[in-house]
A and B are shown apart, each in its own frame.
Chain A
Amino acid sequence: MKCEICHKNEAETVLFRDKPGKGREELYVCRACAEREEAFGQERGIQVAAMEFSPDELPPGVNPGLPPGGDDEGWSPPKPPPEALNELGKMFGQLSSLLSEAGGNPDEARCPKCGQALEEIRASGLMGCPKCYEVFREAIAPLLAELNDCTAFGGTFGVAKQASGRERLQALKAELAEAIKREDYATAKRLKAEFEALKRSLGGAEGAPGGNYGA
């Protein structure tokens, strides 16, 4: 595919332009055009996405626009946060080149939850979702060991891990009933709000405690 700006070189990366009211427009461009737009494009609302692969190099069957699992969280083009670039990017660049020198095959595995590729994690040190830690547990262990000189968390947790949001919900329900019984409406109001928020976040059909306990 030719660059959509100069129409001369092969396109290697993609730029995004947010058009008010029209959503996101994609432009496939060459390195040189991308660099120029990176320097001056911001004023015109153009963002350069750091894509590690060219659109033609995508593994077969992978559609960059959709998460493999069709998750409702959707998938948006990877764009490393600045922290990754200035503090850690260099280091991970070195790490990943060490890995490939050691004969490690570029792995095309992706996280079923968020679509993050192992290859991207190795290149950037950035995970896609909490589930990635489980899916790629073995692959990231050497990275973590290299970074930390240890493989297991030696720090402290805040509170004992709650068994589940559901349990917390039950506990809140009981506390709320207690508060209503004592006619402590201020506390009841706070607990009710907490209950509702937690219930929404769990997305469950847990019945809200009823009762008219004042405003």
Chain B
Amino acid sequence: MALKDDLTPMPTERGQICLCAQFAFVRNLEGMPFPDRMSDAARRRRSKEVIKRLQACALNFLDLTDELEAFNTHLHVMLLTAPESRLPGYALLYLAKPEGVEAPLWCEVMGANHLAFSVIASARQLSPADYDRLAEQLQRFVDRLEPVLNFARTEQLGYLTRQLTLTGSGFRLRVWLHLAGLMHFDHLRELENAANFSELRIDTNNDTGTQTPPGALCILFNGRSLRYNAVEETRTLQRFLGSIIRQERNARERVLVEEPYVLLDIVSRLQATLRVALMITPDELSDCLSDFHLAWDLGVISPKHRPRSLPPMMTALTFDDNHLSEPICRDLLERAYLPEAVRSFPPWFKAAARATWMRNNLDFSLSRDFKRRAMR
């Protein structure tokens, strides 16, 4: 079965900053522990029960649970509960045309919470008004289920969730951003402070505490859920997004205009890596994709020698250790000579496959104009 995946089309306009947006509401049901506090048997039983109740609402959910393996590399599914965190009884439902919502809807049963409803859209195509509308539509959809599902909630705290940080509206809006320019000028700390000031958060996606997220990929999300409702949260985030995009665009132009020699260094290193690397980690792949996108965006790649299409920045997700499957690796490495030690040790085997994929897909040369300018 083919699902519509609007994250994969190649960007037509220059610049790829806002990658995708996920609107999600989590809800729990009265009278049962949160999923990871149940025994496996109880969770499986409750999961079936909840699905039946959803179907009783006359929703034509497509149950993908038995084919989850096949969907692990679907870009939308990758933003949901990761395969290694799915507990027995976890179920994934899909609604292609949910009533009153203009985008497909994902429903996770027994993830971290009893229920999570998500809409995922390409953020590049969302206008400010689209953000408001999607949040409102999804909220109404979830509200309509309330009489049948009896969500756990209190007057004082709103909807009760597994995470204290979601309690209240149970709403989370996440926007994935590629911030190569701001990261280059070391401005992520300021950005984080500014986000906190607007009651938002930025996940820089790395545990080392440094301001260098792999691939300059950051997630902007609403960190609070108690004080405001979903539409108010969405407006705050969406306004802040506009200012991030302006600043990122400025930063990228600055690299090109003020530091062409530095940019030349970045892309030359990328070319060298593409030529010689035998094994690449997921984080390195993210960094390479980031440099490649920056170069493409700033027009320093020769139009004569470059990939026919721009691999989506989010591709890095597909190639992390959790999602890169054995068959894909075998395909990529079909004719490669590999020592037995690499072939039989999955982390190395995957790293070799990633390097091969990268060489096949990012090969390019630099525009002569740019080189001349950088060397002046």
Contact = CB atoms under 8 A, between A and B. Distances in A.
A148 B168 contact: yes
Interface residues of B, number: 70
A198 B53 contact: yes
Contacts of B163: 83-84, 88, 125-127
B309 interface: no
A142 to B, nearest CB: 11
Interface in B13-54: 28-34, 36-42, 46, 49, 52-53
Contact of B146 (A75, A134, A158): A158
B39 A130 contact: no
A125 B224 CA distance: 13
A130 B147 contact: no
Given A78-B36, A125-B165, A153 B156 contact: yes
Contacts of A152: 156-157, 226
Contacts, number: 177
Interface stretch (B81-89, B176-184, B270-278): B81-89
Interface string B70-89: 00000000000110110000
A71 to B, nearest CB: 8
A59 interface: no
B38 A156 contact: no
A42 B84 contact: yes
B228 interface: yes
B303 interface: no
B227 A149 contact: yes
A96 B344 CA distance: 43
Contacts of A76: 36-40
B168 A155 contact: yes
A148 B224 contact: yes
A170 B300 CA distance: 69
A144 B157 CA distance: 9
Interface residues of A, number: 60
Contacts of A156: 229
Given A83-B163, A194-B57, A130 B152 contact: yes
Contacts of B38: 73-74, 76
A197 B52 contact: yes
A43 interface: yes
Given A74-B38, A155-B168, A194-B56, A130 B226 contact: no
Contacts of B161: 127
Contacts of B112: 81, 83-84
Interface in B195-222: 199, 201, 203, 205, 207, 221
B187 interface: no
A128 B230 CA distance: 24
A128 B34 contact: yes
A116 interface: yes
Contact of B33 (A42, A121, A128, A147): A128
Contacts of B84: 42
Contacts of B147: 159, 162, 168
B52 A161 contact: no
A113 interface: yes
A40 B330 CA distance: 20
Contacts of B56: 190, 193-194, 196-198
B205 A86 contact: yes
Interface in A74-95: 74-76, 78-79, 81-84, 86-88, 90
B31 A157 contact: no
A23 B38 CA distance: 16
A196 to B, nearest CB: 8
Contacts of A148: 168, 224-227
Interface in A113-169: 113-116, 121, 125-130, 133-134, 140, 143-144, 147-159, 161-162, 165, 168
Contacts of B55: 193, 197
Interface of B: 28-34, 36-42, 46, 49, 52-53, 55-58, 81-82, 84-85, 111-112, 139, 142-144, 146-148, 150-158, 160-165, 167-169, 199, 201, 203, 205, 207, 221, 223-230, 232, 346-347
Interface of A: 40, 42-43, 71-76, 78-79, 81-84, 86-88, 90, 113-116, 121, 125-130, 133-134, 140, 143-144, 147-159, 161-162, 165, 168, 190, 193-194, 196-198, 200-201
Given A149-B227, A155-B226, A193-B56, 9 more contacts: A42-B84, A73-B37, A75-B39, A81-B81, A113-B33, A130-B31, A130-B152, A153-B155, A162-B150
What are the 8 closest A-B residue pairs judged by CB atoms, nearest first? A74-B39, A158-B143, A153-B158, A155-B229, A130-B152, A148-B226, A129-B33, A114-B33
